[in-house]
Amino acid sequence: MEEKTLYTKEECAALFELPLMDLLLKAQIIHRENFPANAIQVSTLVSIKTGGCPEDCAYCPQSAHYNTQLEREKLMMVDDVLAKAKEAKDSGASRFCMGAAWRHLGKREMDSMKEMVVKVKELGLETCMTLGMLTQDQANELGSAGLDYYNHNLDSSPEYYEKIITTRTYKDRLQTIENVRGAGINVCSGGIIGMGEGRIDRIGLLLQLANMPEPPESVPINMLIAVEGTPLAGTPKLDPIEFVRTIGVTRILMPKTMVRLSAGREDMSEETQALCFMAGANSIFYGEKLLTCKNPDENHDRQLFKKLGLVPLIPEALQTEATENV
């Protein structure tokens, strides 16, 4: 078995310091060695339970600690979730992500979660969930139901984390990821950029992800959406080029990982998004809303894909399934 490469802060910092064109070239070469060129995987994210979260994440409009004028919504019925999944598939998504504003998944909700997984998969979509913290037994149950991905972001570096969240520790997050991995579910874990952190913290986040025994199969890189009413409202915007650099370094450190250009695209120019794709991002969220925040609508993304010569990437598992059904 090939020994895993562990990266250092110095190596990661050196990548950030490369001339931008050199970084983009290096990242794009690595990207093409591992993924089809000009192909972007498309996901849709739906909030299946909105607001009232007891966590105090400083960026989150769903936290019960802040007044963001967000209307709370109860857990969606399974049939309503399926209707959203059908819409997502018809719009071109290949993965359907379901998010609930919980600190942790409760026992009463488990049966509904498993039913959602089974029925969404029957539509021919990959499934992903983000439901807060999971025990090993809960992860095993979701894995047995066929869940493909579980999202649990680290958000930032261990050093900066406590400035953003106090109600859940970094160790808690790492434990949930370990439980997900132990259940045989693909890990989706990334972070949020532009929360006032320094480059050293962006380096720290990427090293935590890249140096895991198995890096996440999917890494979402979010640009902060500074929502009014949250402690991070009014945070100065991060330079878009620094964001592009973060995408590029992510691709180099994790060559086989899906790098998702996630929250914040609504405020990104087409040129910035194009540079992110050049830097190795190969996944986006389709749809006009990401949980509770705005996102470019499907038609806008189709037009952007057309301009850039990009096509939707169909995961191998779905390609196989489609072939078997012919």
Active site residues: 53, 57, 60, 97, 128, 188, 260
Torsion of CA 86, 92, 96, 97, to 10 degrees: -130
Output phi, psi for 56, to 5 deg.
Answer: -110, 30
Residue type at 77 in one-letter notation: M
Bridge partners of 188, per DSSP, are 151, 218
Is the CB of residue 293 less than 8 Å from the CB of residue 99? no
Please give the Cα distance from 209 to 75 (Å, whole number). Answer: 31
Quote the tokens at residue 92.
Answer: 């071109």
Q: Where are the alpha helices (DSSP H) in the chain?
A: 9-16, 20-34, 78-91, 110-122, 136-145, 158-161, 170-182, 199-210, 240-253, 270-278, 298-308, 316-324
